Structure 1
Amino acid sequence: MDSLFVNQALSRLKLSPKLKIPTYLFSYQSPLHLKPNHGSKPCNSFTLLAIQNQQETQNPLQETTQNIEDDESYGEVSKIIGSRALEGGKGMEYLIEWKDGHTPSWVPSDFIAKDVVAEYETPWWTAAKKADESALSQILSENEDERRDVNAVDSDGRTALLFVSGLGSEPCVKLLAEAGADLDHRDNSGGLTALHMAAGYVKPGVVKLLAGLGADPEVKDDRGLTPLDLAKEILRVTPKGNPMQFGRRLGLESVIRNLEEELFEYAEVQEILEKRGKGKDLEYLVKWKDDSDNEWVKAKFIAEDLVRDFEAGLEYAVAEGVMG
């Protein structure tokens, strides 16, 4: 099939939905870089390509478009009235209101003119990247029908929550969480969550807030690091004895403390039963005082006196009462 070129003057027209969409690859970004949304590079015409050899690419939106019949009709776009992120944060679809009165329908972002998408999305992303609580609140207040997806993603698969978390805005985090934001969403530029962003950008208040809201501190990024691992990694490379870095080290220590409290505050060890592994992989099988299931725990998370006693062969007995 020959490539189809759409004149810029027709950029708001509904396009024949039979066209196939190529898979997009997302490049890896620095795990501690909030990438501004510059949008796509300008071009002189809006172009859609119908791929001749469909076997060379996998279509991420095939399920969305496979049942739509090809026809010769085109309807003019009135406006976007809703949005939703694709599975895995690999793109967006928008609910289009048509001027010809047809029933609103979901259309992949690649089939919609960039100026139309920008008109709908720019206020949202501007507010998120500035951590503007007032602007976000205003947009959400106009979303009574919940057609706007609070988990909308940018080109890197990042949601508004990731940006406001990295910027340290507790009010914005609360606002988005109450609106239904996915607290454990991983982006496509490193697998970072909101907790990773808050930990990496040294925002202990947001770390504590997210953990309290139910964010999972054990989710790992693409390098296999939890938010706690990331904070410790940054602390290790932050110079000691440098007055310029003193506040940063204090902040990182606070982040680490908040995450460790979230991970290990719920149960107290009664005794150590077994051990396995060596070095950094050394673990102990612990029995909890709250009678929850025995669990293998890294040595660094167990009190040193308990480890010493276990290694020395001391045994513990639990008193059941006092006699006499």
Structure 2
Amino acid sequence: MEAIFVPKPASHSHFKTKFSPNPKHVLKQQPFLHVRQNPTRFRLVTAALQNQQEAAAAAFKDTEDESYGEVKGIIGSRALDAAAGMEYLIEWKDGHAPSWVPADFIAKDVVAEYETPWWTAAKKADEPALRNILESGDGRDVDAVDAEGRTALLFVAGLGSEPCVKLLAEAGANLDHRDRSGGLAALHMAAGYVRPGVAKVLLDLGADPEVADDRGRTALDLAREILKATPKGNPMQFGRRIGLEGVVRVLEGAVFEYAEVEEILERRGKGENLEYLVRWKDGGANDWVKAKFVAEDLVRDYEAGLEYAVAEAVLAKRVADEGTPEFLVKWADLDEPTWEPQENVDPDLVKAFEETNNQAQPSSNGPAVVVSTQDNP
């Protein structure tokens, strides 16, 4: 079913949410990255991770061959599920076939020799060093985790290195990986450390803006929370606020898409919190949308009390005395069709009518009239 506005201003595009809003997204003024763990939940998660690590160790013990000798080196790595830890592919000096061994069963200096260059490069956002390691063919898991379940991507995102983010993404990094110290993903790091450029790169690469941390906050929620807690009018905080506003704009752009509004139904809130309940032209569920995302002319019409009507079809066209076109419109809620000037008729209805009715016919009712092939009441 199509719609027109009475009177209908020029067609506009408006923002529509791409993702379902999460009612748990509540803003609280707390410092960035400070996560208060739920003791019961933390014990359960810790127990689960310990069980997984113990299972890996048990599996290794079951297959361990006492004849294995000295380690020649690590030739591969992989992260355990849920970032519970790491396993390494060991090459043995005595010629045994390489085997996967949990990190706890390998000498720390052997692990450090393999891992230190990687984490040093990640924590410095050293793109050439990371590239050299990835191109060395050492079997490294780009999603390798540290003791807190963080990957290299989380570090470089927080440091604001767009080249490193792109490099790791090209190497197959999980853009939505969440760490174990709060459930933070790379987008949360970009938001928390005020990196709008990195946030945009991550989104362009396919990162999910709806990934939530352990407190139910998306990256957009986190950015808004920090912005709200950042003092206004403080010259020392001016640059930070500008950066946070940039992050919010980037993330909002990912959460909203352009769509046609059929009508505004209700309003609520005041000032920055003013929202309108809109009905979408494409038939999607009604949404509460911030006032700044709704076209000004639609807001003016709503506030002026102008009503909207739903049109089903254009039945005919004629040229008015002034030489301007008019269309006979069939309404969903009216028994009789009415003649309307072109500016009041949905352009899509006009286009559909003209595509199927492109020949003028003589009429005794003044100027030429094009009659629709549809049944005319």
TM range (shorter): 0.7 to 0.9
From 91, 114, 134, the counterpart of 1:97: 91
* Superposition pairs of residues 192-211 of structure 1, within 5 angstroms: 192-211=184-203
Q: Cα RMSD over matched residues?
A: 3.1
Matched with 2:129 is 135
- Structure having the higher strand fraction is 2
Q: Distance in 1 between matches of 2:300 and 2:123?
A: 49
| Residues 1:296 and 1:123: Cα distance change in structure 2 (over 3 Å) | farther
Matched with 1:297 is 287
Q: How far is 1:268 from its partner? A: 1.2
Matched with 1:32 is 33
Asked if 1 retains the 8 angstrom alpha-carbon contact of 2:264 and 2:276, the reply is no
Name the TM-score, length of structure 1 as normaliser. Answer: 0.73
| Residues 1:101 and 1:164: Cα distance change in structure 2 (over 3 Å) | same
* Range with bigger deviation, 64-73 or 121-130: 64-73
Matched with 1:122 is 116
Matched with 1:267 is 258
| Residues 1:253 and 1:102: Cα distance change in structure 2 (over 3 Å) | same
| Residues 1:74 and 1:218: Cα distance change in structure 2 (over 3 Å) | same
SS at match of 1:135: helix
Write the deviation string for residues 21-65 of structure 1: whole angstroms up to 9, x where unpaired.
xxxxxxxxx8538xxxxxxxxxxxxxxxxxxxxxxx734352674
The one-letter amino acid of 1:226's match is T
Asked if 2 retains the 8 angstrom alpha-carbon contact of 1:283 and 1:296, the reply is no
SS at match of 1:187: coil
Write the deviation string for residues 170-219 of structure 1: whole angstroms up to 9, x where unpaired.
11111111111111111111111111001110011111111111111111
Asked if 2 retains the 8 angstrom alpha-carbon contact of 1:195 and 1:215, the reply is yes
Asked if 1 retains the 8 angstrom alpha-carbon contact of 2:78 and 2:141, the reply is yes
Identity %: 62
Aligned residues: 267
From 43, 67, 70, the counterpart of 1:73: 67
Relative contact order (C-alpha < 8 Å, sep 6+): which is higher? 2
Asked if 1 retains the 8 angstrom alpha-carbon contact of 2:263 and 2:308, the reply is no
Q: Distance in 2 between matches of 1:316 and 1:81?
A: 69
- Give 5+ residue unaligned stretches, structure 1: 1-29, 34-56
Q: How far is 1:297 from its partner? A: 3.2
Matched with 2:213 is 221
The one-letter amino acid of 1:113's match is A
- Give 5+ residue unaligned stretches, structure 2: 1-30, 35-49, 311-345, 355-368, 370-377
Higher Cα Rg: structure 1 or 2? 2
Matched with 1:254 is 246
| Residues 1:179 and 1:72: Cα distance change in structure 2 (over 3 Å) | closer
Q: Distance in 2 between matches of 1:285 and 1:65?
A: 58
Matched with 1:52 is none
Name the TM-score, length of structure 2 as normaliser. Answer: 0.63
| Residues 1:93 and 1:275: Cα distance change in structure 2 (over 3 Å) | farther
| Residues 1:164 and 1:117: Cα distance change in structure 2 (over 3 Å) | same
